[in-house]
C-alpha cells in the first residue's frame, strides 16, 4: 500500500468515527423522540378526558361554573326525577342510573352464564373441528355494529319474542321501547367477550390438575366444575367485570331500544333512559353551549366514566393476580 493510499484511508476512517456519527445519532434520537410522542399521546388522551369532564362538571375554568357548582351532589344522587330539559328542573341521576343498571343487569343475566357455558364447552368438551367453526362465528357476532343490535331489538326482539311471551302469554304490558329488549341484545353482544376471555382463563389451568382429578375417579363434569372452574375463578370474574363494564357503557343499542323516558322504575317492560342514551338524545337536539343541560351531559358522562373505569381497574388487578399464579 502506498503512503498516499494509507493517508486517504486514515483520514476516511477518522471522518467516519467522528463527524458522521454525531449526525446520524441525532437523527436516531429525533426518530425515537417522535415515536415517544406517539406513545405519550395515549396519556394525553386520558388527561384530556379527565380535564374535559372535570372542568365542565366539577370545577369550572375562568368565569364559567361547572355542573356541580350549580347543582348539589346531594340532589344529584338522591332526587328521583331527572328533568333538565323541562321548565321545572330536577337533577336526580337515579332514574338514569337505574335505567343503566337494569339494562346491564338483564344483559349480565344473559351474557355471563351463556358466555361461561360456551367457554367451558369450547375449552373442555369441543373437538378442534367444532372450535374452528364456533370461534369465528363468535368473532363475527362481536364485530356487528351496535346500531344493528338496536335495530334487532326494536324490530325483532320486542314484537316477536317479548310480546308473544309476556304480553299475549302472561298479560304484561310491553311497550314498544323497553329495557328488556335492550338488555337482551346487550347480553347477546357481550357473549363473545365473556366466552373468549373465560376460555383463555380455563385453558391456563395446567393439564396436570385435570389428569390428577381424572386419576381420582372423576367424571368430566367433576373435573370441569370441581377443579378447572374453581382454579380459573379469578380469571373468569375478571372477564365478567369487563363484560359488565361494556354493558354499562353501551350506547346505541340502548338508545334505540329502550327509549328516552327517564322514569325511575324497575319494570323491564317500560321505556327507560340510560345514562348513555341521555347523552345521545340531548346531543341530537339543540342544546345551548354553557346551559345547565349542556353541563349535565358532562356530569352524567363523568359518572359513567368513573363507573366503567373502576370496573376496568378492578378487572385488570384481578387478571394480573390470576396470571401470576399460572404463568
Partner 1 sequence: MVTESTQHADVPALPSLADVTNTFSTDGDGDTVERATKVETTDLDFYYGDVQALFGVSMKVPEQAVTALIGPSGCGKSTYLRTLNRMNDIIEDTRLTGTVLLEGQDIYGPRVDVVALRKRVGMVFQKSTPFPKSIFDNIAYGPRVAGQKNKAALAEIVETSLERAALWDEVKDRLDDSALALSGGQQQRLCIARTLATNPDVVLMDEPASALDPASTARIEDLIFELKQNYTIIIVTHNMQQAARISDHTAFFFEGKLIEFGVTRELFTKPGEQHTEDYITGRFG
Partner 2 sequence: MSQVVVESPQQLAGRHRKGRAFEWACLLATSLGVLVLVVLLVGVCVQAWGWLDGDFVSNYDSRHPREAGILAGIWGSFWLIGMTALFSVPIGVGAAVYLEEYAGQNWLTRLIQVNLANLAGVPSIVYGILGLTVFVRMFGAFPDGKVVLVSLGVATLKVPIPFGRTVLSGALTLTLLILPVVIVAAQEALRAVPGSIRNASVALGASRWQTIRLQVLPAAAPGILTGIILALSRAIGETAPLVMIGALTYVAFTPGGIESPVDVVRDPQGVVDAPFDTFTALPIQIFNWVSRPKAEYQHVAAAGILVLLIVLLILNGTAILIRHKYRKGIRW
Residues at the interface with partner 1 (CB under 8 A)? 206, 208-209, 211-219, 222, 226-227, 230-231, 325
CA 75 to CA 234: how far, in whole Å?
Answer: 37
- Cβ neighbours for 287, distance < 8 A, ≥ 6 positions apart: 293, 294, 297
CB of 239 to partner 1, least distance (A): 18
Closest to partner 2 by CB, 98 or 274: 274
Binding-residue pattern over the window 39 to 78 for partner 2, x denoting contact by CB under 8 A? xxxxx-xx-xx--xx--x----------------------
All three cell numbers of 222, joined, read: 367433576
Residue from 98, 196, 234, 276 binding partner 2 (CB under 8 A): 276
Give the CA-trace dihedral at 41, 46, 51, 53, to 10 degrees.
140
Longest CA pairwise span in the chain (Å):
108
Q: Which of residues 182-211 bind partner 2 (CB under 8 A)?
A: 188, 191-192, 195
Closest to partner 1 by CB, 70 or 211: 211
67: phi then psi, degrees, rounded to nearest 5: -60, -50
Sign of the Cα pseudo-torsion (137, 143, 147, 153, in order): positive
Q: Which of residues 131-170 bind partner 2 (CB under 8 A)?
A: 134, 137-138, 140-141, 143-148, 150-152, 154-156
317: phi then psi, degrees, rounded to nearest 5: -65, -45
Given partner 2, partner 1, none, residue 28, with its beta carbon under 5 to 8 Å by kind, binds: partner 2
Closest to partner 2 by CB, 7 or 33: 33
CB of 232 to partner 1, least distance (A): 10
Given partner 1, partner 2, none, residue 109, with its beta carbon under 5 to 8 Å by kind, binds: none
Stretch that binds partner 2, among 67-75, 79-87, 205-213, 247-255 (CB under 8 A): 247-255
User: 3-state SS of the chain: helix, strand, coil percent to 5?
Assistant: 75, 0, 20
Buried b (16+ CB within 10 A) or exposed e, 84-105: beeeeeebbbbbbbbbbbbbbb
CA 194 to CA 236: how far, in whole Å?
Answer: 8
Residue from 297, 299, 318, 322 binding partner 2 (CB under 8 A): 297
Amino acid at each position: 500500500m502506498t503512503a498516499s493510499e494509507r493517508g486517504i484511508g486514515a483520514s476516511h476512517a477518522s471522518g467516519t468515527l467522528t463527524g458522521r456519527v454525531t449526525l446520524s445519532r441525532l437523527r436516531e434520537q429525533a426518530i425515537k423522540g417522535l415515536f415517544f410522542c406517539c406513545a405519550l399521546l395515549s396519556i394525553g388522551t386520558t388527561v384530556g378526558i379527565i380535564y374535559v369532564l372535570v372542568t365542565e362538571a366539577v370545577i369550572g375554568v375562568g368565569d364559567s361554573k361547572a355542573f356541580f357548582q350549580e347543582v348539589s351532589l346531594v340532589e344529584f344522587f338522591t332526587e328521583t326525577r331527572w328533568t333538565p330539559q323541562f321548565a321545572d328542573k330536577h337533577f336526580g341521576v337515579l332514574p338514569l342510573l337505574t335505567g343503566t343498571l337494569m339494562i346491564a343487569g338483564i344483559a349480565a343475566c344473559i351474557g355471563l352464564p351463556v358466555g361461561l357455558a360456551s367457554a367451558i364447552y369450547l375449552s373442555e368438551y369441543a373437538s378442534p373441528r367444532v372450535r374452528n367453526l364456533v370461534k369465528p362465528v363468535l368473532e363475527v357476532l362481536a364485530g356487528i355494529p351496535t346500531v344493528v343490535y338496536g335495530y334487532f331489538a326494536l324490530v325483532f326482539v320486542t314484537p316477536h319474542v317479548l310480546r308473544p311471551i309476556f304480553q299475549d302469554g302472561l298479560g304484561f304490558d310491553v311497550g314498544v321501547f323497553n329495557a328488556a329488549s335492550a338488555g337482551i341484545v346487550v347480553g347477546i353482544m357481550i357473549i363473545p367477550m365473556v366466552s373468549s376471555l373465560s376460555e383463555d382463563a380455563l385453558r391456563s389451568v395446567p393439564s396436570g390438575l385435570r389428569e390428577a382429578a381424572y386419576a381420582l375417579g372423576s367424571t368430566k363434569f367433576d373435573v370441569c366444575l370441581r377443579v378447572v372452574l374453581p382454579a380459573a375463578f379469578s380469571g373468569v370474574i375478571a372477564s365478567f367485570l369487563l363484560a359488565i363494564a361494556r354493558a354499562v357503557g353501551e350506547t346505541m343499542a340502548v338508545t334505540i331500544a329502550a327509549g328516552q323516558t327517564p322514569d325511575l322504575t324497575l319494570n323491564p317492560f317500560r321505556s327507560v333512559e340510560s345514562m348513555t342514551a341521555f347523552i345521545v338524545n340531548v346531543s341530537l337536539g339543540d342544546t345551548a353551549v354553557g346551559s345547565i343541560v349542556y353541563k349535565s351531559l358532562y356530569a352524567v358522562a363523568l359518572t359513567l366514566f368513573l363507573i366503567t373505569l373502576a370496573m376496568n381497574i378492578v378487572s385488570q388487578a384481578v387478571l394480573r393476580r390470576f396470571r401470576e399464579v399460572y404463568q
